A and B are shown apart, each in its own frame.
Chain A
């Protein structure tokens, strides 16, 4: 199995070899300048950026947009950066089925510096102010948030946003419908007890990929990280609680989410590419300890269009959607969540001759049964390459009937409230809608009625195609 980077430093080194990271040695300020640079680079499909000198924070550096391109996702999985996207999908999907439990170690570089009690000061950490107008300095944008259910040993790793409130307090917004949010609301708040939480920053890329994955409650992301890395992930117990985080983490912030205190959280410029007014309904995290490596490397996602979220959700989320559709008996061939859709759109390929309104409605129901991210589903026949947006747009434009081919479902209690077009009332009720565009030929369509694609592949005999291909160079083309 290819060598998967063992920590963020090995990941950066590999990206330097492949030309996928830019190193900024000039000092930059954490207050908006760093965010502006990271945003511009991301929008230009540029490399990751390692800011080695942060004003006010000597000895700290920030690694921005770690996995915001398919090339960097490939490197994170130990692949060559230029492998086709389907290869990245296949690699992730095949490894995902072989979970490898983590290995607990007793010492790690993230314990080189241990700060507790009066030494705890969040302002001693280079949390960036990412976008002008954000509610605060977001310290958690590419992080692993560890928490545990009260009624089991299940350790949850997730990626949730957290910002600085003051020197000893963070506020955050794990989605209320997330695993974290459900455990907090269903188990800790009714008992009025704080929930231990640890935030790990700058871990190995496989652990970060696992933390951003779509897994069902009870499945340990640490074991998924091992599956993706092809080896057990070393984890280490936190200093002030019994949670475990990747031992390769650069920084670990330990504390607890309080059941009875809140403070302002957000707004934040999020992955849809907008800051859409979702703020003020977060959680409060009281910091008990900070441990870190000497000269720690912080990881952050300059959130917005073409950020890390769009790639990792395209990857793990796309595979998760495919599995869900298969469980529901949908004749799916391939699924793609295009990064340009900012986690609002999914393209679903359907087996030849098995599309049509019934499958469309069942697909819509399957993808809106639980918490909903996708508000646009494009269903295509399997001869359309779901990874080719040109082919998808062609199919949508020419095969989706504006009346018969559009299906809509509405729901309460499970919409993604970061979606920019929802109004405040919809956000408060988590009410939303999803539409499916059926760009498949309906089943039972007679051969004599099925339009023939006037393409090189679709219109000409095999004999003629082979003749043309064999003589291609002789045409001078």
Chain B
């Protein structure tokens, strides 16, 4: 739907669609611990991500990128500042409300795949639909479609132990996709994969972004992987240090 306009504008942050951005962080701070043990993970982050963008988040460990991702993923609340998701202030939501937000709008892909062991690929992909109470018939159909979309048609009955790392990550992506989320949050999705497998996963994510218009926010350490994104956000010491196109990184 919006995929064409997004690809045409080549993901530039200033070239994003008009109207309120999908994700907006304003002066977000996050403090862990109390008193002398206090640790400022974020010290006033401003970030806007538009519908259909593919954003890579980079930065050394301790730079606050994971904390920022947790807040974007509605897994954590900011200590101060505001987070608007689709124009809704997330900071004011309680645990269960944030869970519902995740259930309906967010998809997660992790470095360690985090599939349920001894559970078939199909059942893994069905899991988010179970929490959405999708009826069994539709659940099976959509899970099959999602697996087909990541190139795993015919592997539905295999358990994670019977799949390669790349295939496992594809199952995880299918699990994130099956609910048609507005945003897919990926935390080092290629961190456990070799370079050939990494490229395949990145191509898959790029295709999903271009063809389906799914907004993707991805943490990565590797500039090669960040190069697939339309925009790279660098974190340093709890602040956004640089925000631009992949070419700007070096």
- A and B interact: no
Interface residues of A (CB under 8 A from B): none
Interface residues of B (CB under 8 A from A): none
